[in-house]
Chains A and B, each alone.
Chain A
Amino acid sequence: MQGLPAIQDIVNLAAKIITSRTFLEIVVFPGFLNVFVGAALLTWLERKVIARVQLRIGPLYAGMWGILQPIADGIKLLFKEMIFPELADAKLLMVCALGLMMIAAAPVVAIPFGDGLVIANMDVGLIYVFAAISLFPTLILLIGWGSNSKYSFIGGLRSLFQQVAYEIPMWLSVLGIVMLTGTLNLTDIVRAQEKLWFVVPQILGFVVFFAAVLAELERIPFDLPEAESELVMGWMTELTGAAFMVGFLAMYTKLYVMSALITALFLGGWSGPSILPQPVWFLLKTFLVATVIVIIRGAFPRVRVDILLRTGWTRLLILAFANVFVTAMLIWLGFGWFWRV
């Protein structure tokens, strides 16, 4: 009976850890469960909204309005056989697909879902999110190379070109916000918007950032890496079964995370009338942004690679610089105190 107290201690410790706020934050609410459920809900939302845009009904039979469809899809994909092409690097594909999921979920730790409801309140939160996101095309290129298929490889290369086109305008477009608030901490950035959301004084930055996010998420009109009519499924062509599920879910996780980032940077984050709690406002805005991105998919055609590059380097970059200039003028004219934390 010597071992029993030790077991009791371990059980107590486990209970303490599980009920602690940090654990709940990491695993349940702003953390991973929230991200996965959000991403799965977004797959359903996308199918439903696109169906309505095209005068169809969309998922209907699984649960109310087909809301259980993501679960059915997940079970189906989990039980499918994983087929890899001859000479494909199966290990590399698996590792990279899992890495995509990890990197897509990583930025969540820095995004505040409420005042103080953030896993890691970092001083460099904004740069952290961008740094994590910038690893995506690397893994996509590796998947494209490892698949030993021309469609996948072209998709991976296109993803790289796309990064060249969007990344610099994306970093520059949020510079105005950083200049106004004087911080890179996302919680402080949201706090600074209590009086006026940044979408108003930073409207140019918002437009550039939104376009860059569309390119970043590989959504229509910038879905070149997975252009279905040209490249079958782009870099995802040779992913099957569970590997495909992970890669696909990673893309929707990224959609969720970037919608949340747009909400936090430009749409006031958690702020809203106090009839609803802060996280609810945040989630409402996030899903609204995601819905707009989905509707854009239903409404626009795809652009060509060279047009995307030209847009990124001539239009978006110049707009981003103009935004920086306007913001500097605002501060110079003495309006800077309004948003400073």
Chain B
Amino acid sequence: MPDIAFLALSGLVIASAVFALEARELIYGAVGLGLSLIGIAGLFILLGAEYLAMFQIAVYVGAVVVLILFTIMLVERERGRIVEEEEPVRLGRAGIYVAGLVALAVAAAVILLAPVSPEAPEFYRAPLQELGRSMASSYSVALVILGLLIGATVVGGLTLVKIEQKEKTSGTAQ
């Protein structure tokens, strides 16, 4: 049963990632990215990391993809359709195919060389409370530093906005 789920989720991740790269319209690319990230969240659940999976959905799909969509919509002045019909760059294509071949080779090597155990080892499912305890004790410094980093980012963004506003008002005053 997990095998079917794993195969389906992997298929979803790969197919939507390819779709995200190949989509002619940027919006579809962002949608494909979102689907791919949801599939990765599903893989996290299969690996026993539900907490991580939920935050993957909430942060990456719920916030980052929205940000990408928002940027695309604001940048594209001409509504909707991308008009430019460029010839696809041949060299870039070739690169993709080579990368795919290398990935296949690596996967084949892993599958052929890795010791195949008949019973897969049980994943260690950390209880949520244990996770929280370790985050609040042994990883607390890292957590605080991350918080400071994000706080600094927010303050930096606010400062940028303030500077722009000041320039705008002084420009109109003159």
Are B61 and A138 within 8 A (Cβ)? Answer: yes
Q: Which residues of B contact A137 (CB under 8 A)?
A: 66
Majority secondary structure, B binding face: helix
Q: Which of B120-164 contact A (CB under 8 A)?
A: 127-129
How many A-B contacts are there with CB distance less than 8 Å? 63
Are B66 and A138 within 8 A (Cβ)? Answer: yes
* Contact digits for B52-65, partner A, Cβ 8 Å, 1 yes 0 no: 00110110011101
Determine how close the nearest CB of chain A comes to the CB of B46; give it in whole angstroms. Answer: 14
B32 contacts chain A at the CB level, 8 A cutoff = no
Q: Which residues of A contact B57 (CB under 8 A)?
A: 131-132, 134-135
How many residues belonging to A are interface residues under a CB distance threshold of 8 Å? 25
Q: Which of A102-138 contact B (CB under 8 A)?
A: 122-124, 127-128, 130-132, 134-135, 137-138
Are A124 and B70 within 8 A (Cβ)? Answer: no
| Alpha-carbon distance between A130 and B61 when the two chains are bound, in angstroms | 12
A138-B62 contact, Cβ under 8 Å, with A124-B54, A145-B27, A184-B128 = yes
Query: Which listed residue, B62, B79, B129, touches A131 by the CB 8 Å rule?
Result: B62
| Alpha-carbon distance between A89 and B27 when the two chains are bound, in angstroms | 11
Majority secondary structure, A binding face: helix
Q: Which residues of A contact B55 (CB under 8 A)?
A: 127, 131
| Alpha-carbon distance between A130 and B62 when the two chains are bound, in angstroms | 10
Are A135 and B61 within 8 A (Cβ)? Answer: yes
How many residues belonging to B are interface residues under a CB distance threshold of 8 Å? 23
* Contact digits for B8-28, partner A, Cβ 8 Å, 1 yes 0 no: 000000000000000000010
Interface residues of B (CB under 8 A from A): 27, 31, 34, 50-51, 54-55, 57-58, 61-63, 65-66, 69-70, 73, 79-81, 127-129
27 contacts between A and B (CB under 8 A): A92-B27, A123-B50, A123-B51, A123-B128, A127-B58, A128-B50, A130-B54, A131-B54, A131-B55, A131-B57, A134-B61, A134-B62, A134-B63, A135-B62, A137-B66, A138-B61, A138-B66, A141-B69, A141-B70, A141-B73, A142-B69, A145-B69, A145-B73, A160-B66, A160-B70, A182-B129, A183-B128
Interface residues of A (CB under 8 A from B): 87, 89, 92, 122-124, 127-128, 130-132, 134-135, 137-138, 141-142, 145, 148, 153, 160, 163, 182-184
